[in-house]
Structure 1
Amino acid sequence: MFVIFGFGTKQKHLGPGETRTCPRCHNTTQWARMREYRQFTVFFIPVARWKRRRFEACGICGAAFAA
């Protein structure tokens, strides 16, 4: 019997966020709203998800802060 399983972190783009100045790179840009979660899959089907969080990420340097 052959079982294929996986474990990893997934990110999903939720749309545009606010326009603000990044405290890390000091550029003013529109940030992206993101959702991140960890998941366990069996035969490429998600079975369990945990550690869900929403955040906004800078469009230039990728710095992320809780939304």
Structure 2
Amino acid sequence: MFFVFGLGTKQQHLGPGETRTCPRCHNTTQQTRMREFRQFTVFFVPVLRWKRRLFEVCSVCGTAVEV
């Protein structure tokens, strides 16, 4: 029997986020909204997704802040 399966972390770009001051670099910029989750795939088809989180990334230094 031959199975093709995988386990990995995926990130999706959701578009522009809020304009806020970054806690690390202290620049005020428009953040980028992202979604991240872990998934299990069988034959390249996602079967299970867990550990979902929504966050915004600073466009200057790349620091992620959960929303």
- Assess same fold via TM > 0.5: yes
The alignment of Structure 1 onto Structure 2 pairs a total of residues equal to 67
Match in the other structure for 1:26: 26
Please report how far the alpha carbon of residue 18 of structure 1 lies from its aligned counterpart in structure 2 after TM superposition. Answer: 1.1
Identity between Structure 1 and Structure 2 (%): 75
Please report how far the alpha carbon of residue 26 of structure 1 lies from its aligned counterpart in structure 2 after TM superposition. Answer: 2.0
Gaps of 5+ in 2: none
Q: Which letter maps to 1:57? A: V
Match in the other structure for 2:53: 53
Q: Which letter maps to 1:59? A: S
Please report how far the alpha carbon of residue 41 of structure 1 lies from its aligned counterpart in structure 2 after TM superposition. Answer: 0.3
Q: Which letter maps to 2:19? A: T
- Runs of 4+ residues over 3 Å off in structure 1: none
Distance 1:35 1:15 in 2: 10
Match in the other structure for 1:5: 5
Q: TM (normalized to structure 1)?
A: 0.90
